[in-house]
Every structure is written in C-alpha cells, then in structure tokens.
C-alpha cells in the first residue's frame, strides 16, 4: 500500500510483474520443446554493451563453420548492425529490435526462431540486448547461458550484478589482450564471481587475438554432446 495516498498501485505493479514473468516462463517452455524436437542447442550470450559478444560470434562462426551448422539471433534496441555483421560471415541471422526494451523475451525469440528456421542438429546463438540487468530475468528457452565480461569493466561486476552472474553456466572473460594496460586482477575477479556463482566455468579469452578460444569451443562441444544424449534418451 502507498504510504502517501493509501492507493494499491505498488501492489498492482508487483502482481503485473509476476504475471509478465509467468507468461514469459510459459512461452520459454514452448521454445525449449520446439528446440529439443529439432535437436537444436541454443546458447544465450549476455553482457554489458561492447564486451565483445558479436566479435566472439564472428570468430566462432569462422572457426566452427566446417564442423557445425550455426544460426544467430541478434537483440539490440535499434539498428540491424549486428545481424549485418553476422550475415557478412555467411551465417544466417535474424535481428530483433526491442525499441525501449532492455532485454529479449521468450515471445520475441519464438518469432525469430521460426524466421531463422535453423537446421535440425544445429546450434543457435542468441545475442541478448547489452546490459547486465534485465536479460538475466527472462528465460528464453535456451539450454545454456554464457556471460561475457571484458577486463575493461572492473573486477566488481559479479558482486554488483549478482543476478546476471548467478545465472551463467560459463563466463567468458574477454579482451585479456588488454590486461598489460589495465589494473584488473583476474584472480580477484574469479574470487568475486565464486561468491555469487561457485559453479560457473571461467574462460579467459581474447576475441580479437584468439587467446583461449579453443577452450570455449571445447566447452561448446561438450555441451553439444551432452545435449544430443539428452535428446536421444527423451525420444
Ligand atoms: N582489444 C580487444 N577488443 C575487443 C575484443 N573483443 C571485442 N573487442 C572490441 O570491442 C568493441 C565492441 O565489440 P562488439 O563485439 O561489438 O561488442 P558487443 O558485446 O557485441 O556490443 P553490443 O552488441 O553493442 O552490446 C569492438 O571495437 C571490438 O573490436 C578483444 O578481445 N580485445
Ligand atoms: Mg553486439
């Protein structure tokens, strides 16, 4: 109840938020079923703006395209720029623009998956809208969440944005080529991450120079094999 006028607007807002999240979770369940029926592994990439999500995708497409069919769904508030970058590599991409919205939701992803029409047994990367807050709350029906953090952002981000880092299966610590020029302590970052998420794997990478990318591809390969086993058992 509002302490100023006694109205119940605060209570109504909370109920509305719960309904929005419940509807999203329901649609995310449909996406998960849709993806599993086609044996498509979906990975949701989340980060602050500019951490290197699209650059990592461009590299992964170039490095993995002979072994694995890939598709990409790009989320930004505006512009087709990231989908254009992905298509320039020869990989199919669909761009979602959220306008004032700060995250993708499961309903948006459902439409984009049908437009992308990924091949069975392929992998779909979803690049979420760049920020460390809202995307964490919205399940898209993905199988895994990868949080990208660049060394220019400071070691304290897991403590300040715990919801985002708690939801990660893997954290890609990007731009390690810049470490010689920065006061960033990877050990302190790992300690702070452990406080909110003891289970997430941390991979130190440089999307531009290529450091650590083999480890990222090994991680994806392991997840892909485990996913294929799960889908096989369920059939
Ligand atoms: N030095 C260095 N720069 C990088 C690296 N990865 C990305 N960048 C640069 O960081 C800038 C942003 O990269 P993007 O890949 O566009 O970042 P993003 O996370 O997709 O950004 P948004 O989609 O806007 O959220 C570009 O200038 C990249 O060249 C890296 O490993 N090292
Ligand atoms: Mg991008």
Q: Is the pLDDT at 3 greater than 80, yes or no?
A: no
User: Which ligand 1 atom is at minimum distance from the Cα of 211?
Assistant: 31
pLDDT of residue 233: 86
54-76 average pLDDT score: 96
pLDDT-above-70 percentage for the chain: 100
Task: Indicate whether 203 belongs to any domain.
Answer: yes
Task: Indicate whether 3 belongs to any domain.
Answer: no
Quote the ligand 1 centre to 49 CA distance (angstroms): 8
Instruction: Report which protein residue has its CA nearest ligand 1's atom 9.
Output: 52
- Sign of the alpha-carbon torsion through 25, 109, 104, 60: positive
Ligand 1: list residues with CB < 6 Å. 47, 49-55, 82, 130, 174-175, 177-178, 206-208
Q: Mutual orientation of helices 53-64 and 213-234 as an angle, nearest 10°?
A: 70
Quote the ligand 2 centre to 6 CA distance (angstroms): 45
Give per-residue pLDDT as tens, 187-223.
Answer: 999 999 999 999 999 999 999 999 999 999 999 999 9
Task: Indicate whether 225 belongs to any domain.
Answer: yes
Task: Indicate whether 2 belongs to any domain.
Answer: no
Q: Which ligand is closest to the CA of 55, given by its number?
A: 1
Quote the ligand 1 centre to 197 CA distance (angstroms): 25
Q: Is the pLDDT at 80 greater than 90, yes or no?
A: yes
96-115 average pLDDT score: 98
Cα three-residue angle 82-83-88, rounded to 5 degrees: 100
Task: Indicate whether 59 belongs to any domain.
Answer: yes
Contact 124, 91 (CB under 8 A): no
**CATH value at residue 81:** 3.40.50.300
Instruction: Report which protein residue has its CA nearest ligand 1's atom 2.
Output: 175
The residue to which tokens 């964490």 are assigned: 136
Give per-residue pLDDT as tens, 144-165.
Answer: 999 999 999 999 999 999 999 9
Cα–Cα distance, 47 to 177 (Å, whole number): 18
Quote the ligand 2 centre to 50 CA distance (angstroms): 7
pLDDT of residue 9: 80
- Please tell me the total count of domains within the chain: 1
pLDDT of residue 227: 95
Backbone angles phi, psi at 63, to 5 degrees: -85, -25
Quote the ligand 2 centre to 196 CA distance (angstroms): 26
134-144 average pLDDT score: 97
Quote the ligand 2 centre to 82 CA distance (angstroms): 5
Cα–Cα distance, 216 to 98 (Å, whole number): 29
Cα–Cα distance, 208 to 79 (Å, whole number): 23
Q: Is the pLDDT at 52 greater than 90, yes or no?
A: yes
Task: Indicate whether 1 belongs to any domain.
Answer: no
122-129 average pLDDT score: 98
Task: Indicate whether 61 belongs to any domain.
Answer: yes
Q: Which of 47, 87, 41 is nearest to 170 (CA)?
A: 47
Instruction: Specify the DSSP class assigned to residue 2.
Output: -
Q: Is the pLDDT at 2 greater than 80, yes or no?
A: no
Instruction: Report which protein residue has its CA nearest ligand 1's atom 13.
Output: 52
Cα–Cα distance, 121 to 93 (Å, whole number): 17
Instruction: Report which protein residue has its CA nearest ligand 1's atom 1.
Output: 175
Task: Indicate whether 184 belongs to any domain.
Answer: yes
Q: Is the pLDDT at 7 greater than 90, yes or no?
A: no
Q: Which of 213, 212, 161, 204 is nearest to 184 (CA)?
A: 204
Instruction: Report which protein residue has its CA nearest ligand 1's atom 7.
Output: 52
Whole domain around residue 156: which residue ranges?
Answer: 9-234
């Amino acid at each position: 109840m509002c302490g100023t006028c006694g109205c119940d607007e605060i209570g109504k807002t909370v109920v509305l938020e719960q309904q929005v999240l419940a509807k999203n979770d329901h649609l995310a369940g449909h996406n998960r079923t849709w993806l599993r029926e086609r044996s498509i592994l979906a990975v949701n990439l989340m980060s602050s703006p500019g951490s290197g999500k699209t650059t990592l995708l461009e590299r992964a497409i170039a490095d993995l395209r002979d072994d694995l069919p890939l598709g990409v769904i790009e989320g930004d508030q505006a512009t087709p720029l990231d989908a254009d970058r992905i298509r320039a590599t020869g990989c199919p991409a669909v761009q979602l623009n959220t306008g004032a919205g700060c995250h993708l939701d499961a309903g948006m992803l459902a439409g984009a998956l049908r437009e992308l029409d990924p091949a069975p047994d392929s992998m779909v990367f979803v690049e979420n809208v760049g920020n460390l807050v809202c995307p964490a709350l919205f399940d898209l029906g993905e199988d895994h969440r990868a949080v990208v953090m660049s060394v220019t952002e400071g070691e304290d981000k897991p403590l300040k944005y715990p919801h985002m880092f708690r939801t990660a299966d893997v954290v890609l610590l990007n731009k390690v080529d810049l470490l010689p020029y920065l006061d960033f302590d990877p050990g302190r970052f790992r300690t702070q991450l452990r406080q909110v998420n003891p289970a997430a794997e941390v991979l130190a990478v440089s999307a531009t120079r290529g450091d650590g990318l083999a480890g990222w591809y090994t991680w994806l390969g392991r997840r892909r094999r485990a996913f294929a086993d799960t889908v096989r058992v369920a059939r």
